Amino acid sequence: MTIDQKFIHQLVNVTSKAAIASYQFIGKKDKISADKAAVDSMRTELNQMNINGEIVIGEGELDEAPMLYIGEKVGTTLGPEIDIAVDPLEGTNFVANNLPGALSVISIAEKNNLFNAPETYMEKISAKVKEKGVIDLDYTVKKNIFNLSEYLNKKPESIKACVMDRPRHKDIIEELNRIGVKIKLITDGDVMGALFVTDKKYKVDIFLGIGGGPEGVLAAAALDAYNCHFQGRFLFDTDDDKNRANKMGIKDLTKKYELNEIIRGDSIFCATGITSGDLVSGIKIKNKKFVSETFITHKSSGIKKIIKNIDNRWDWLILKIY
């Protein structure tokens, strides 16, 4: 089974409207209201789609989130069974403080083909490498960099790594500095960080570090349409984390997941910019109309492009096709 291309336009409508909903909170220091606006909008739009959808990556468990919680059913039920991963506002701090890189993100896959990730941290690594064994979570930082430099025919000093700027990454950053690798530090948004390896224009060769598990699944969904290597390993630090994993059917708590174990079959990924970043431009107002840009992939058709949506009409302008 493949997912009909018609859902691309419908999902762009979903993320564009969620992005526009949170736009009003840019720079207002209110990340909670910004997130709620995006969530409310996304849920409303999803429930108008002719799908039988289930949220597998969402805003939390049922007792933690009133909307778009894990297990929530969305859509009219008059359509295919679909697994859905959402991050209505990735980069809440970016919106609250008017910083670049906030996104509204969604991915869909065929039923039972999208990993139901627990709300915990994930160790992850990605690079535009098709072959296995070049990079690996079990390798040292040094081995990953030297393997990648040999594969790309670059000097280690010419490699650029993207890492989230967190205290937990102190050792990784220090090792990268010892090797002489160029480093791109990001403060939030590790979905976007993982996507930097997809195209030479972003000038990032490898993404590594620890971020959110749900965000790791969303990143894998986008990378699935590229010849990229991705690995993730969940980190269960507390008894609550371990018990939750067991309830979700995760038996091996130290398992290293390959991309095709996180997402299988056909998929669509959409990320609409709220504030402008390296991936896409943010929401703009032109002639009293909202203008948004969305990064999309559709695995089965090979579509990988950025489109512009004007005032939520089906007025599509292809900006770039990779």
Domain layout of the chain by residue ranges: 6-113+266-321, 121-262
Tell which phi-psi region holds residue 77, choosing left (phi > 0), alpha (psi between -120 and 50) or beta: left
Q: How many helices (H) and strands (E) does the chain have?
A: 9, 15
Question: Are the C-beta atoms of 126 and 206 separated by less than 8 Å?
Answer: yes
Burial class of 52 by CB neighbour count within 10 A (0 to 12, 13 to 18, 19+): middle
Encode pLDDT of 199-209 as tens digits.
888 999 999 99
- What mean pLDDT do residues 65-69 have? 80
Fold match between domain 6-113+266-321 and domain 121-262: no
- pLDDT the model gives residue 243: 86
Q: What is the pTM of this model?
A: 0.92
Tokens describing residue 54: 């289930």
Tell whether the torsion through CA atoms of 288, 289, 290 and 291 is positive or negative.
Answer: negative
Give tens-digit pLDDT for 119-149.
889 999 999 898 889 999 999 999 999 999 9
> pLDDT: is 240 or 6 the higher one?
6
Local confidence band at 251 (pLDDT 50, 70, 90 cut-offs): confident
pLDDT at 299: 93
| CATH fold group of domain 121-262 | D-Maltodextrin-Binding Protein; domain 2 (3.40.190)
How far does the chain reach from its first CA to its final CA, in angstroms?
Answer: 25
* Residue 241: band (very low, low, confident or very high) from pLDDT cuts 50, 70, 90: confident
The percent of residues above 90 in pLDDT, for the chain, comes to 74
CA 51 to chain centre: 22
Query: Structurally, what CATH architecture does the domain formed by 6-113+266-321 represent?
Result: 2-Layer Sandwich (3.30)
